[in-house]
Structure 1
Amino acid sequence: MLRLPLPPWKTGWRQKAALSLFELFLLTAFCLITNAAPAAETKADYQLLAAFDLPAHLLKATATITLAPGAATVVRLDGLRVTAVELDGVEVKAGGPTLTIAASAAERRLIIHYRKEVSSMADGLIEKAGIDLSDNWYPQLDFPALFHLQAIIPANFLAVSEADSISTEAVPNSRLVTFKFSRPLTYLHFVAGPYVKREVAFGGGKSLYTYFFPEDAELAADYLRKGKAYIRRYEKLIGPYPYQRFSIVENRLPTGYAMPTFTLLGQAVVRLPFIVDTSLGHEILHSWFGNAIGVDYSQGNWCEGLTTYLADQSFAAERGQGALFRKGQLIKFAAVNRELGGTIEEFKGGEASPNPRRIARRAVGYGKASMLFHMLRRKVGDRVFFAALRDFYRRMDGKTASWRDIEQSFKNAGGSGLQSFFKQWLTQKDVPDLKAEDISLKEANGRLRLKFTIAQSNKVPYKIEVPVVITNDFGQRRETVNLTSKSKKVELT
């Protein structure tokens, strides 16, 4: 390997005094994109150039972060081997997992050169079969930034990250991929591999893509057809698709993630025949709820329950299995420890894990929360329900939202008397525990009179509408009882 002298402006840095041609190209290419100032709506403009040594499972990268005046941050460096740091043209020593940058009245520029060796699947993937970087692969700020990512990848690879547009140009024995995205991000993801790319337009100059491995390329047509149908479905229900593109990307690792502008599905998952009819719609729906509208986790994660209701539960209902799906949700909730599960408002994340606490929390954050939206829709009707969702998307697109914002949208759409509804379902750990007592059936003046008491044993009683079904030799009769206290006497003739 030819080695070149270190440029004079680098001689004060604590790093080896020579660069390979590969590393020199990385530095000079990066200089082309480091002159942008922070966008007005963000605290930081984040330029990142990454390159890879696949046989060594190694990422080599340079981050240039321009902080707006008055912006301070603590930069996380977990899992990174930092080789040099410069702040406003002065060398800085970085020896720990974090780097604190104080605010300044003037704009500040932080440059970090670093490496990361991916030695296990827990860290991601860097090898000839593909690249997957999701966690701890770049210096991370403690607030969203406007990212400008460039990556040097093998000539036979294609790459995907959060982007409005992806462009590629040939460089010696490689490709330089540039990602442009107009929205600030809290986290950045990157995946690359020997993909076969397919594309279909879905209106407004926007496109849907698949990035599948050659051995699974024949699956692309079905994913494109169903993916386009899901986008149209949710545009009709909620509002315009928020980005310029959406990509369905196959991964060597067993993942099932939804990020702004793409979903990352494990190879084993992609091959399952039912995924296009179930999980794919769920992940696409996160484009609106969870990505375009972020989650204010300090007040609970609303998006998994809403997405489960509008995707998984709705798909089951359309197959004639709505009652069976809801029963399954209730069984999952009944099987877990209520104290471990907590309340809907306390639910933060959606990790899939065999840990009993996380299983309990998923039963609450996905299952019980989806039932909340089911009850809410029945309470206010379809017109108000979907008008509220459209209002929620229109008001909160590009922002983080809480349950309070959802409640406000239902109020805006004409829903009334919902304060107690949201309060009880968000803050109580249990569900209504009901029973019928003191049942009597008597005849008077030639008419049957049914009397009974509906009682709930909950410590804090729910205010709910209880469906009652009475069955006799002539058929069934359905009534609804408005229960607002521990018990209520009911009389039917």
Structure 2
Amino acid sequence: MTRLMTGWHILNIHGSNVSIVSFLFLILSTLVSNSASATSPEAADAVEVTYEIEVRIDPVAHSIEGRSVIVANSSEELTLVLGRRFGVLSAQVNGTSLGPAASMGKVRAWRVFNDKGLPRRIEVYWRGQLTPLDTSLDHAQTLGRDEPTSGEAGTFLPDSSGWYPYIAGKLASYRVSIELPAGQRAIVPGRLVEESESTDGYRARFEFLSPTGGIDLMAGPYSIETHTMRGAGGKPIQLRTYFHPQIADLASGYLDSVKGYIDLYESWIGEYPFTEFSVVSSPTPTGFGMPTLTYLGTEVLRLPFIRYTSLGHEVLHNWWGNGVYTDYAHGNWSEGLTTFMADYAYKERENPEAALDMRRGWLRDFAALSSGQDAPLSTFTSRTHGATQIVGYNKSAMVFLMLRDMLGRETFDRALQAFWQEQRFHLASWIDLQRAFEASSGKDLSGFFDQWLTRGGAPVIRIAEARRAKPDPAASANHRVTVTLEQAEPAYRLHVPVAVRTAEGEEFRTLDLEKARQVFTLDVGAQPLQVTLDPDLRLFRRLMPDEAPPILRQVMVDRTAATVLLPESGDAQSTAGTLAEKLQQRTPNLVPGKEAPPAVPVLVIGLEEQVDTWLARHRLPARPDIVRGKGTAQAWTVSRSDGVTLAVISARDIESLAALTRPLPHYGRQSYVIFNGSKVIGRGAWPTRAPMVKLD
């Protein structure tokens, strides 16, 4: 995952007839999902705004004070923004006081006119209190916060908190000097210029000389390890870990993995755009990606698979998202492309079965969405819940897979390399990607991009008919089969893979489906026995019922899902309610356990005897043999006779139920999971069957 470049999208307002209240309303109403950007790609060609920031942080007192000098070479009216929680001691432009600011919500803003000539030099002194660090927050709570927090175990000042004064709507370069008490270390994205420590405290200075969208600051009692590697062009790249003492032994392995990922993506895309990359640990379950670094929770970093999965995803974001900026006004392409070239690419390198399993997971997840949750890709900006991840990450990644299948790997890679060279440190959109692929392939791809970006949902395709036909005497093949495909209106233009099983093996074809119903004639080399639609799941489509057995995610992401809490009172009911909130990331839609389950997906939570009694009362299938009597708790899905999904969670006692709160939300792709305490001892998905027609 990545944390998007943070800050504000605002309107540039000219003239003096706009009231300050209306002005600030327009600023806030145009805020777009943690992203500060230039108003056009050309704005990145020259750095119009630079920051010189000096800050002193006291993690024990939860305090910050700073001085910022902003130099702006832009002639337009500017907006200076600072988090409202911070007090301003002085604010001047070219020696003249900026005067009062307008305040609304969490920010205050000043209008900075161009009446003093260029460049404009804005100097601000500020200070304030930081929110005490809370290490009890879970992953979702941590990712959803934009408060500046501080404590001895760690400090995190997200750009979205407005912890420093900045010019809204402008990319900027910066230099940041940081002072902390002895024993603390700090980092911001960019190049470490110098650092020192004495009994008086720690000091460090960083610089980021390319235009970028925001500054995040992290600090803690870090142990630092450094390695130097040579990039593709011979440039030295500093690799560092800023790890809490309890995980310092992991540093060497992480540094080796980072080097491997940089080598991989330099050979695949182009030269690494920065001079360093750091892995920074957080005392909370964080997962953020920023230019030149990733910020991950200590417990996350302990997980053995993180080095081989999520770490590479975050390194790749230094090309996509932090090297080429995302134009969020037209949709976020960077998460899907990063998922495709990291998470999915690692599965492809593992083996074909692992890659197929990931594709199957993506399509199963999409099948779990209810109507209205499958918004167009062009509207996706950032992940806010499970449904947006299914669209913005998974569907987007599969669009890139289909594009590569259509163009070929060499053409696809050549387009990405050209896109990188042309758009480095520029704001880029899906349109820019389309142009790169069209230039590389020589094809008009407007139809492809239009249908996959602007349409919600997915095509529904079926084999309406398949039969043997008389072979053409003029053809070299001895056998022929006709296949009729159908799809719902309005029709997509699709390259549909099919497999024809013959007496001598399988033959694969790709059929160009452009209409709601279309007949295809295929010549094959031996007696045809069976036709299967998209056997390797390489086409983004809504799975047929037999292909999409129920999974837990269906009751986790469906906003219409109802919840039945079988414990009627006391600690058991409270624990069940907490688990339901964690699974569904909202207040559950509760229905009484004595009533018949409604005709919507239903989540049922209870202790073992309660669950068995409830299932029998409503004449629903008993707990399956694969989970019966195993572990301390089980979760499984049932497809009811009306096609609606039921998810059941059963625990031996209250303690076993409580132990599911943290791990169970991570197993949404499973049809069943078995726990011993909080440890998974069994899991799986119900069998699937690809859509196929046997030939008589």
Same fold (TM over 0.5): yes
1:132 aligns with 2:176: no
1:9 corresponds in structure 2 to: none
Per-residue deviation at 1:224? 0.8
Return the match for 2:514 from 476, 484, 489.
484
Distance across 1 between alignment mates of 2:165 and 2:270: 35
Distance across 2 between alignment mates of 1:265 and 1:73: 35
Distance across 2 between alignment mates of 1:444 and 1:486: 26
Residues 380 and 415, structure 1, Cα contact 8 Å, conserved in 2: no
SS in 2 for 1:339: coil
More displaced 10-residue stretch of structure 1: 379-388 or 114-123? 114-123
Per-residue deviation at 1:445? 10
Count of aligned pairs: 448
Distance across 2 between alignment mates of 1:330 and 1:319: 20
2:91 corresponds in structure 1 to: 85
Return the match for 1:411 from 425, 438, 442.
438
Per-residue deviation at 1:369? 0.5
1:384 aligns with 2:395: no
Counterpart code for 1:465: H
* Alpha carbons of structure 1 residues 61 and 473: separation in structure 2 relative to 1, 3 Å: same
2:343 corresponds in structure 1 to: 312
Per-residue deviation at 1:240? 0.5
> 1:449-488 alignment to 2 at 5 Å?
449-457=480-488, 459-488=489-518
Return the match for 1:371 from 392, 398, 402.
398
SS in 1 for 2:54: strand
Q: Deviations over 1:455-491 (max 9, x none)?
A: 111x321111111112244322222211122121123
Question: Which stretches in structure 1 are left out of the alignment for 5+ residues?
Answer: 1-38, 354-358
> 1:49-448 alignment to 2 at 5 Å?
49-78=54-83, 79-91=85-97, 92-94=99-101, 96=103, 97-104=108-115, 105-120=117-132, 121=134, 122=145, 123-134=147-158, 135-136=160-161, 137-142=163-168, 143-170=170-197, 173-203=200-230, 204-320=235-351, 321-351=354-384, 353=385, 359-441=386-468
2:651 corresponds in structure 1 to: none
Distance across 2 between alignment mates of 1:407 and 1:415: 11
* Alpha carbons of structure 1 residues 453 and 40: separation in structure 2 relative to 1, 3 Å: closer
Distance across 2 between alignment mates of 1:371 and 1:40: 32
Residues 461 and 484, structure 1, Cα contact 8 Å, conserved in 2: yes
More displaced 10-residue stretch of structure 1: 470-479 or 483-492? 470-479
Q: Which has the higher contact order (CA 8 A, sep 6+)?
A: 2
Q: Deviations over 1:296-343 (max 9, x none)?
A: 111111000000000001111222200000111111112113523311
1:20 corresponds in structure 2 to: none
1:6 corresponds in structure 2 to: none
Per-residue deviation at 1:286? 0.2
* Alpha carbons of structure 1 residues 481 and 288: separation in structure 2 relative to 1, 3 Å: same
* Alpha carbons of structure 1 residues 445 and 157: separation in structure 2 relative to 1, 3 Å: closer
Distance across 2 between alignment mates of 1:150 and 1:444: 78
Per-residue deviation at 1:77? 2.1
Residues 337 and 360, structure 1, Cα contact 8 Å, conserved in 2: no
* Alpha carbons of structure 1 residues 453 and 144: separation in structure 2 relative to 1, 3 Å: same
TM-score, normalising length: structure 1:
0.86
SS in 1 for 2:122: strand
Distance across 2 between alignment mates of 1:470 and 1:408: 36
SS in 1 for 2:456: coil
Residues 438 and 453, structure 1, Cα contact 8 Å, conserved in 2: yes
Distance across 1 between alignment mates of 2:333 and 2:281: 27
Identity %: 31
Distance across 2 between alignment mates of 1:389 and 1:449: 40
Distance across 2 between alignment mates of 1:116 and 1:288: 35
More displaced 10-residue stretch of structure 1: 404-413 or 465-474? 465-474
Q: Deviations over 1:159-198 (max 9, x none)?
A: 2111123311346611221112211221101111121111
- What is the aligned-residue RMSD (CA, Å)? 2.1
Counterpart code for 1:249: V
* Alpha carbons of structure 1 residues 60 and 488: separation in structure 2 relative to 1, 3 Å: same
Counterpart code for 1:125: T
Q: Deviations over 1:353-408 (max 9, x none)?
A: 3xxxxx22221110111001101111111110111111010000110111111111
Counterpart code for 2:81: R
Distance across 2 between alignment mates of 1:241 and 1:350: 26
Residues 304 and 350, structure 1, Cα contact 8 Å, conserved in 2: no
SS in 2 for 1:77: strand
Residues 43 and 71, structure 1, Cα contact 8 Å, conserved in 2: no
Residues 67 and 109, structure 1, Cα contact 8 Å, conserved in 2: yes
Distance across 2 between alignment mates of 1:170 and 1:451: 77
More displaced 10-residue stretch of structure 1: 231-240 or 63-72? 63-72
SS in 2 for 1:416: coil
Per-residue deviation at 1:95? 5.8
Residues 152 and 177, structure 1, Cα contact 8 Å, conserved in 2: yes
Per-residue deviation at 1:90? 2.6
Residues 58 and 181, structure 2, Cα contact 8 Å, conserved in 1: no
Residues 100 and 110, structure 2, Cα contact 8 Å, conserved in 1: no
Distance across 2 between alignment mates of 1:131 and 1:188: 14
> 1:38-49 alignment to 2 at 5 Å?
41-49=46-54
